[in-house]
Every structure is written in C-alpha cells, then in structure tokens.
Amino acid sequence: MQLESELAYSQHKLSNGIRLIHRSTYSPIAHTAIVINVGSRDEQPQEYGIAHFIEHSIFKGTDKRKSVHILNRIDGVGGELNAFTTKEETCIYASFLNNYHDRVLELFSDIVFHSVFPQKEIDKEKIVVIDEINSYEDNPSELIFDDFEKLVFGNHGLGRYILGTPSQVMNFTTEKIKDFVNRTYSPNSIVISTIGAIDFDKWVEKCEKHFGSVEKDNKQITRTPYKNYKPRTKILSRDTYQAHVVLGNTAFSYKNKHRLAFSLLNNIIGGPAMNSRLNMKIREKFGFTYALESNYTAYSDVGLFTVYAATDEKYIDKTINLIENELEYYCNNKIKPLTLKHAKQQLIGQLAIQYENNQNEVLSMGKSILNYNRIDTLETTNQEIEKITAEEIQEVAQIVFRKDKYSLIKYIN
C-alpha cells in the first residue's frame, strides 16, 4: 500500500520556463522523464519524419560526449535509457538507482541542449530508421492505424507518418536537424518529471544546476487546428492471411469537457478487458475475430476514435456490421445504472494498476503538466469518473458513433 507521503505531487518552474514535477517514493528505483511539446505534426514539408529521427540522433554525440559515452552513462550503472516520439511530443526517459539523479539530469541536459548531430553518425542511423520503417510496413496490424490516420486527417500534420519515408529520411542532414531543433525546442515547451526517494527541494537544486543556465526564449509552436473532417473509405490489397479493418470518427480533444466520459465509453466498448462489449458480442459469441479493440487518442485540437478487427476475409463484412450495430446501441439506449456502476469500477481499477507502474506514471506526470499545467491525483480522477452520468454517455455516443461519419479502411487479400 502506498504511504500518504508518497501521494503528493510537488511543482516548480525554473526562471527560464522549464517546468518541474516531482513525486516522492520509498523505492530504491527512480524514474525521470523530459517531455518536449514537439512532435511530427510540427514538421514542415521538407522535414517529414525528422522529429522521430531526432529521437534517434539525440544520442549520437554532444559537445563533450561521443555516442558510446552517452549510451554508457546510464546503462553502465544498471539503468535504462529510452525515448519515443508521438505526433505532439518527444520524450526521453530513464530508470535508475536512486543515487544517480545528478548523472541522469546532467546527461538529459547535455543531449537535449548540446547535441551536435554529427553527419557521420546520422548517415549510419538512417539505415536503422529505414529498417524500422520497413519492419513496420511488414506488420499490417500496426500499419493500418497509420493509414487510417492518413485517411482521416489527409495532408494535415496529424495525418503524417511519424517515421517518415525512406526517401525523406535519406535527405536529413546535420543542418536540417539543427534547424528543426532551434525552431521548435524551447524551455517553455519542456517538462521534467521524476519519481524517486529524493527530497523535492534537493531535486530542484539539481535541476537548477543542470538546466538553469539554459537561455530563456519566447518561442511558441503554432499548430494549425484540424477541421473540415469528411468520412472516407479505402480498400487496399495486401498479401496477408487475415483481413484487417479499422473504422472510426474524429472525437474529443484532450481539452474537451467530454474527454473523460468518452474514455469511459471507449473502455466499455472495446477496452483492454476481456469483458468489453465488442469482445463479448463478436469474438466470444461468433468467434469471428482473434484481435478486436477500440481506441481513443486525444490530441490538443481533436481526437480520434477507432475500432480495429482482424478476421478471416469471409467474415469481414459481418464483423463490420456487428461493430456498427454495437456502437449504434449506445446512441439509442441509455446505459443501465448497474452496468454504468460496474464500468466505473472497472476503469477506476485499471487506472490504479497503471499508477502502480512508476515508469508509466512519470511519463503521465510530464504530459499532464505539459497539457494542463496540473496533476490530477488518482483520487480526483476517480471522483470525476463517479460524476459521469448515463445521459452524458449517451450524448458522447451520439456525437461520435454516427454511422454517416465513419471512415473505414480495409486490408484484404
């Protein structure tokens, strides 16, 4: 059981604009993340794929370190160092023994603000990233989501493949990478989060030591909001045994008041639990699908709801009809009180389990400060879930689960 002193979040803002968020724990393992409000949607046409490429290249050399020294800095003391890129964020994170906070913060500061992106290392990393792209294209269950987002968002930044294309990657140079970093990376867009057995004031001092000298600037990323959605259908032929399908619609941004209610509804429909409605109605009842899930991704200006299924091609149309019928049910019927109660209990339990993973939480903390400039405790979130009504569930279903608004993409043999 968590002790009460472990539950409090502490915040601080450096004079240059970098925001800090901290939670104390008694674990000997600490976790730190630096979250940057820059992703693939912030790229210009000649830069497609560069945000993700920087995630790789940021470990390739700084003013004072070569690649091997960067990689050994955390791994050499038994820690783990990693990074990822989304359409709106770049994140670098590490897990390590609690007495290495200085080491991690100093390394993060070095690679984020002093990377030199040597051309020789960049040229080698192009091969790695192109191999990643090709590997991804061999996996239809993942590629179909990118193709669906491209179908929905078109030429907008949210429709862009995060990895870029091989031809785009081959054109990256040290100069292009530095231009992107200088244009988009700013202390105002950075959050550093940590969970560890370290006093907050002491941790702030360490952050001030390693990040306080970063020059303040007033750069702001301007993002073009997505609008004018039109439903589209696309059928692609692929040499796969199974047929794959994704259907869905635009949904609520993470700033929208209905975001939590729709998250609950998505969890009911096709969340990770085996008792989700789609799993029970389609997989368990008819045996049509092996893989079946719904997802809700919220961006700063729009969201995306999807349902994915993989099945034998002879069942694909029946599966789509069953999915649409199930979604329509929630438009026409209020969820029953006992069903709603159980759904809330399930989501509250799932969130509690997620909070048990400190690495997941340290990333969530950084994104929460980045997006909302606050942290909602588990207790606060649970209270908000309990306030959700059957009427609101039906309202959000009627907005998103409109058959005439669905886009659809199919992979068939």
- Please, are residues 87 and 39 in contact by the beta-carbon 8 Å criterion? yes
Q: Where are the beta strands (DSSP E) in 199-288?
A: 233-237, 243-251
Neighbours of 84 (CB within 10 A): 13
Distance, CA of 91 to CA of 81 (rounded, Å): 11
**Dihedral sign of CA atoms 40, 46, 49, 52 in order:** negative
- pLDDT confidence band for 5 (50 / 70 / 90): very low
Residue 316 has pLDDT above 80, yes or no: yes
Question: What are 34-85's pLDDT values in tens digits?
Answer: 999 999 999 998 999 999 999 999 999 999 999 999 999 999 999 999 999 9
- The answer to whether residue 370 scores a pLDDT higher than 60 is yes
Confidence of residue 413 (pLDDT cuts 50, 70, 90): confident
User: What CATH number should be reported for the domain whose range is 4-211?
Assistant: 3.30.830.10
**Contact (CB, 8 A) for 105 and 142:** no
Alpha-helical regions (H) of 156-283: 166-170, 174-184, 200-211, 259-270, 277-278
What homologous superfamily is domain 233-412 in, according to CATH?
A: Metalloenzyme, LuxS/M16 peptidase-like (3.30.830.10)
Strand partners, 31: 95, 195
Angle of the 378-387 helix axis to the 337-356 helix axis, nearest 10: 170
How far is residue 322 from each of residues 10, 146, 289, 306, 328, measured CA to CA in Å? 48, 24, 12, 15, 10
> Worst-scoring range by mean pLDDT, 178-182, 198-202, 272-276?
272-276
Query: Span 203-227, mean pLDDT?
Result: 94
Confidence band for 236, pLDDT divided at 50, 70 and 90? very high
- Determine the pLDDT at residue 240: 82
The pLDDT of residue 293 is above 70 = yes
Return d(Cα 245, Cα 306) in angstroms, integer. Answer: 10
For residues 232 and 130, give the distance between their C-alpha atoms in angstroms, rounded to a whole number. 29
Start-to-end C-alpha separation, the chain: 51
Sketch the domain layout of the chain as residue ranges.
4-211, 233-412
pLDDT of residue 4: 37
- Do 4-211 and 233-412 come out as alike in CATH topology? yes
The secondary structure of residue 115, as a DSSP letter, is B
Asked if residues 266 and 294 have their Cβ atoms less than 8 Å apart, the reply is: yes
Most confident by average pLDDT, 137-151, 346-360, 363-377, 385-399: 385-399
pLDDT given at position 7: 60
Q: Dump strand ranges (E) for 273-342.
A: 289-298, 303-311
User: Do the beta carbons of residue 361 and residue 32 sit within 8 Å?
Assistant: no
Average pLDDT, the chain: 94
Return the H-helix or E-strand segment holding 85: strand 80-85
- pLDDT computed for residue 6 by the predictor: 52
Tell me the two tokens of residue 178.
């530095």
Please give the share of the chain, as a percent, with pLDDT higher than 90: 86
pLDDT tier at 3 (50, 70, 90 boundaries)? very low
Q: Say what the pLDDT of residue 276 is.
A: 87
